[in-house]
Structure 1
Amino acid sequence: MPEIVSEEQQRRLSRNIMIAAAVAILFFIFAAIVTVRTFSGVDRYEAALGEIRDVTLDDGSIVHLNSDSEVEVRFTGHGRKVRIVKGEASFDVAPDSERPFDVEVRSALIRAVGTAFNVRMRPALTELTVTHGTVTVHCGNKAQQRVTAGNGAVIQPRTIVLTRLGDRLVSQRIAWRHQMLELDGETIEQATAEFNRYRKAPILIGDTRVSPLRIGGRFRVHDSRAFLSALERTLLVRTVRGEDGSVMLLYRDEESTQASESDRS
């Protein structure tokens, strides 16, 4: 005679089956992740828009990621490889003579053993700044170039141009690591482009007369209000704030000043 199962027993049985199925699904997901990690050997790190992030790698090297940047890291017993996917990254490389530290960016390969350097991807070129030690740069069929501390390179697909920077420009280029922007006579167009790297709502230039004006100073990357205040205080610039958080920069002449005062009254 078949055994009669109560409704309560049926509910418990169904619940146990569902729990077992959920555990099995989680196990397979975890196994898949581990498998991908094991076979690809690639770790990905990124910094969101407005974020500056420091990542310590397995060998003790440190990668500093600027806003809206991403790198891929792959370590083996014979080498350490990093690929810059987008943005800007600065590297403090732990010495290891048996495993060179290679950074791939576009078509270039930058190699270091124990050194520190900064790499920024710009729209049409890559900008290298060496802050400590020496790196080598190889690009396409061009001869390998050595770049020492205090110097840099401008890298394009088939061109490597070495540049002499000096302490002041090196400091300016890596100031972002301390969440600072150092401006030394940059145009407002250049300065706003730097601040916009950290803003969701951009600073816009609404008058071509504003673009070539120049400004200097030291500002926190997330304190664009201080920058805008400095513009209004020291230059013929007025700001108009949008409802979306954006800011329009306009030239402040006599007519615009009178119109602005009329609007306030």
Structure 2
Amino acid sequence: MGHQDAHETGQTDSELTHADPVGDQALDWFVRLRGAEPDGVTEGAFKAWLGEDPRHEAAFRALETLWNSKPFLDAVMALPVAKSALIRPKRRFPKQAAALAASVLLAAGVWQYPALNIAFQADYLTGTGSQTTVSLPDGSTMMLNTGTAVALDFDAGKRHIRLLRGEAFFDVVHDAAHPFTVSGQYGAVEVLGTAFSVKTGDDEDEVVLERGRVQVLCLCENQGKAELAPGEAVSVTASAVSPVHAADPSTALAWRDGRIIFENARLGTVLEELRRYHRGPIMVADERVNLMVVTGNYRLDDVEGALKTLADAAGVGFYRIPGGLIILR
């Protein structure tokens, strides 16, 4: 795809934006610091911005990492700009050239850095809408749901899985001498032989037990824990383990059979789950739609069909925009 100068398209440097506001700010600083020799005020402001939020430094370092990577350098070399103006390590370059290169950073997917970082760590991954079953070295079975990534450690008798993203179900072979552990973002599950699922998200990990017994530990300072019996579930946040509550595995784990089941659930909650299986955005134009209560049992390989049926049942409009965007209003 050809590259156009920002001035040719009528786009200014400040309009090189991304949906992520932290990414926008990082990109702005990236361009500013390479557009001219910064003065003390600029450097002070930059350091203050870095200190405001750990995500700021992570986003900026991701830009620097990509800037120095060979794929990015190859992409920049293909730009219709004097190469000498762009590729000069340890030196500043014109603001226009930096802005131009910044647009390549966007095109190269720097804002997918967290996903790339996970991909580098993972032993197994699934894409959006995909599932796969894996036989583990100890004979246990692991089933990965949509958009899931895991890292394995079975060296020296260990049986440990890190759930980096998504949701997985484990059917574990009993081995009293070697406990089987699964860690998510906030919690860890330890078992000897059982079947359970772990789902990790931005705010919490969820554990559902189908059979056997497990102990769920919070990876936080208070090290809270809970023991689950079949048909029970628990959530773990950055600070605590929730009370144990009942969960129907046939419903909570219906994804293993390629279905999603819900009863008297808010449509907004259902849509949030369906988004995990749909490659395009699903948007709601009226917040009242999210509050509607729905019941259903749908196939996960036809998310669009499920959305149409839900829209009809809720009496709201369904609009499909080219490119995969779906709007309910």
**TM-score category of the 2 structures, normalised to the smaller one:** 0.7 to 0.9
Where is the strand percentage greater, Structure 1 or Structure 2?
1
- Taking the TM superposition and a 5 Å limit, the aligned residue runs for 1:178-189 are 178-189=257-268
Write the distance in 2 (CA, Å) between the matches of 1:245 and 1:43.
28
- Taking the TM superposition and a 5 Å limit, the aligned residue runs for 1:105-124 are 105-124=184-203
Give secondary structure in 1 for the equivalent of 2:198.
Answer: strand
Write the distance in 2 (CA, Å) between the matches of 1:111 and 1:52.
24
Contact 2:122 2:164 in 1 (8 A): no
Letter in 2 for 1:215: V
Write the distance in 1 (CA, Å) between the matches of 2:122 and 2:305.
38
Alignment partner, residue 98 of structure 1: 177
Query: TM-score, normalised on structure 1?
Result: 0.73
Instruction: Extract unaligned runs of 5+ from structure 1.
Output: 1-41, 251-265
Write the distance in 2 (CA, Å) between the matches of 1:74 and 1:115.
19
The answer to whether 1:157 aligns with 2:259 is no
- Taking the TM superposition and a 5 Å limit, the aligned residue runs for 1:132-171 are 132-139=211-218, 140=220, 141-167=222-248, 170-171=249-250
Relative to structure 1, is the Cα distance of residues 229 and 144 closer, same or farther in structure 2, using a 3 angstrom cutoff? closer
Q: Residues 135-164 of structure 1: CA distance to partner in whole angstroms, max 9, x if unpaired?
A: 112223425432111111111123112322
The answer to whether 1:245 aligns with 2:324 is yes
- Taking the TM superposition and a 5 Å limit, the aligned residue runs for 1:4-153 are 44-139=123-218, 140=220, 141-153=222-234
Alpha-carbon offset, residue 235 of structure 1: 2.1
Alignment partner, residue 34 of structure 1: none
Give secondary structure in 1 for the equivalent of 2:244.
Answer: strand
Moved over 3 A (4+): none
Write the distance in 1 (CA, Å) between the matches of 2:317 and 2:297.
20
Write the distance in 2 (CA, Å) between the matches of 1:216 and 1:144.
33
Instruction: Extract unaligned runs of 5+ from structure 2.
Output: 1-120
Alpha-carbon offset, residue 106 of structure 1: 2.2
Give secondary structure in 2 for the equivalent of 1:223.
Answer: helix
Q: Which of structures 1 and 2 has the bigger CA Rg?
A: 1
Give secondary structure in 2 for the equivalent of 1:219.
Answer: strand
Give secondary structure in 1 for the equivalent of 2:143.
Answer: strand
Alpha-carbon offset, residue 233 of structure 1: 3.0
Alignment partner, residue 3 of structure 1: none
Write the distance in 1 (CA, Å) between the matches of 2:193 and 2:323.
46
Is the deviation greater in 125-134 or in 183-192? 183-192
Write the distance in 2 (CA, Å) between the matches of 1:147 and 1:109.
13
Alignment partner, residue 18 of structure 2: none
Q: What number of residue pairs does the alignment pair up?
A: 207
Q: Residues 107-129 of structure 1: CA distance to partner in whole angstroms, max 9, x if unpaired?
A: 42210111011111122111111
Write the distance in 2 (CA, Å) between the matches of 1:66 and 1:166.
18
Relative to structure 1, is the Cα distance of residues 107 and 216 closer, same or farther in structure 2, using a 3 angstrom cutoff? closer
Give secondary structure in 2 for the equivalent of 1:237.
Answer: coil
Write the distance in 1 (CA, Å) between the matches of 2:144 and 2:298.
19
Q: Residues 195-253 of structure 1: CA distance to partner in whole angstroms, max 9, x if unpaired?
A: 11111112210112211112111101121233233234322211111011211101xxx
Alignment partner, residue 235 of structure 1: 314
State the Cα RMSD in Å.
1.7
Is the deviation greater in 229-238 or in 200-209? 229-238
Q: Which has the higher contact order (CA 8 A, sep 6+)?
A: 1
Relative to structure 1, is the Cα distance of residues 143 and 192 closer, same or farther in structure 2, using a 3 angstrom cutoff? closer
Letter in 1 for 2:228: V
